[in-house]
Amino acid sequence: MNEYIEKINTLARDMGEVKIMEVCGGHTNTIMRYGIRDILPANIKLISGPGCPVCVTSQYDIDCAIELALGGVKLATYGDMIHVPGTKTSLLDARARGADVKVIYSADQIVGEKDRVFFAVGFETTTPMTATMLKNNIPVFCAHKLIPPAMKILVGEMNIQGFIDPGHVSTIIGSDIWGELNIPVPQVISGFKPEALVRATCILLELIKNKEVKVVNDYPEVVFGKGNLLAKKLIEETMKPVDAEWRGMGVIPGSGLAPRNELLDARIIYKDLFKNIVSREYPGCRCGEIVRGMVEPRECPFFGTVCTPENPQGACMVSESEGACAIAYKYGKSLAE
């Protein structure tokens, strides 16, 4: 491991400021847990990207899910989603008030419950599960996001010089696709161990220095060129690409998915319930800038004061495993505090 750290130090000596974005929230977790940012040279910046499903889900979509639950529709979703604050309340509080909101981790937990709507979030990693639900005729409120279109926007806007590509997403979509995106900076697909992320940083610095724009698959034990063909086929059969609204990034063309079968699309089935929703983010909340890597969690005035994991005001403070603010709260306490 020390050889990579030494090499990073040597490479960094002749470089100016280098911004590398780790796209995936799981990577941010490892980086913060092991204090990897602290051991990198000051001019090498690792910036957290949008790869937290809870964080990038738009306020409107969260409000829609809450509206469904309060409107008497049985709902199922992932654990962290119930804590995300909507404009007025959260699914957790809706449940405390009697709404039927079931936390699930696997499609078969609700297969057979045809009147329960699955509030689907997540990137390519979780789309096969949603596809399985649709195959089983379970209606879906689909807030899935696709990572590559967002990266194309961020690379220009944020002056990113290299990407650490998400490992789990890549297991589904494969490594080939990253090279087909015409992103003008090098990318390394990385695993989740701290050593892997240090190595990915080292590889990127070398590529940046040599002005080589290519994709290195440094997670070949689980990421293959074409990805998971079975999962991709299932997704293609059940869902179609649509424009999607991201928190902090607005509507990105072709960055979302919707059920092909409109009879299973909860956005269409329950459209009357959503008519009067007026969504508003918590004023002053900087989640939108945080998911784009523009500011650090601690730069938000509410971090750790009004906004804590117990009572999150912004979506980035919810997921301890993927949300930049919750991770910073958990692992970012300085030794002097």
Partner 1 sequence: MQLLINMGKALLNSSMDDKKECLTGNCPTPIEADVGSIRLSEGSGGREMQELISQIRSKLGAESDWKNTQDDAASIDFAGKKLVFTSDSYVVTPIFFPGGNIGKIAFCGTVNDLAVMGARPLGLSLSFVLEEGFSKKDFFSIVETIGELSKKHGVPIVTGDTKVVEHGSVDKIIINTSGVGSAEIILDEPLEVGDQIIVSGGIGEHGTALLARRFELETLIETDSKPLWDEINSVRGLIRQAKDVTRGGLAAILNEIAEKNGKQFLINEEKIPIEHEVRALTEVLGIELYNLACEGRFVCIASHKNSDEVVQKLKQFNKHACVVGEVLDGKNVIVQTRFGKKVLNMPHGNIVPRIC
- List contacts with partner 1 (CB under 8 A): 1, 24-26, 29, 33-36, 38-39, 51-54, 78-81, 83, 85, 88-90, 92-93, 96-97, 105-106, 121-123, 125-126, 166, 168-169, 192-194, 198, 282-284, 301-303, 305-307, 309-311, 313, 319-322, 329-331, 333-335, 337
User: For residues 50 and 147, what is the distance between their CA atoms, to the nearest angstrom?
Assistant: 8
Q: Which is nearer to partner 1, 7 or 213 (CB)?
A: 7
How far apart are CB 34 and partner 1 at their closest, in Å? 4
> Is 68:141 a contact under the CB 8 Å cutoff?
yes
> Residues with Cβ < 8 Å from 198, sequence gap 6 or more?
1, 4, 5, 8, 36
How far apart are CB 1 and partner 1 at their closest, in Å? 7
Q: Is the dihedral of CA 126, 131, 137, 140 positive or negative?
A: positive
Q: Which is nearer to partner 1, 213 or 320 (CB)?
A: 320
How far apart are CB 334 and partner 1 at their closest, in Å? 8
How far apart are CB 304 and partner 1 at their closest, in Å? 8
Q: What tokens were used for 294?
A: 């523009």
Q: Which is nearer to partner 1, 262 or 299 (CB)?
A: 299
How far apart are CB 125 and partner 1 at their closest, in Å? 4
User: For residues 91 and 6, what is the distance between their CA atoms, to the nearest angstrom?
Assistant: 48
Q: Which is nearer to partner 1, 125 or 132 (CB)?
A: 125
Q: Which is nearer to partner 1, 95 or 135 (CB)?
A: 95
User: For residues 337 and 332, what is the distance between their CA atoms, to the nearest angstrom?
Assistant: 10
Q: Which is nearer to partner 1, 25 or 162 (CB)?
A: 25
How far apart are CB 188 and partner 1 at their closest, in Å? 18
Q: How many residues does the chain have?
A: 337
Question: What SS3 class is residue 1?
Answer: coil
Question: What SS3 class is residue 193?
Answer: coil
Q: What tokens were used for 225?
A: 């060129």
User: For residues 317 and 302, what is the distance between their CA atoms, to the nearest angstrom?
Assistant: 10
| Beta strand 250-259 pairing with 239-246 | antiparallel
> Residues with Cβ < 8 Å from 212, sequence gap 6 or more?
186
Q: Which is nearer to partner 1, 261 or 309 (CB)?
A: 309
Q: Which is nearer to partner 1, 14 or 310 (CB)?
A: 310
How far apart are CB 251 and partner 1 at their closest, in Å? 21
How far apart are CB 66 and partner 1 at their closest, in Å? 12
Half-sphere exposure of 68 (CA within 13 A, CB side): 29
CA-based Rg of the chain, rounded to a whole angstrom?
20
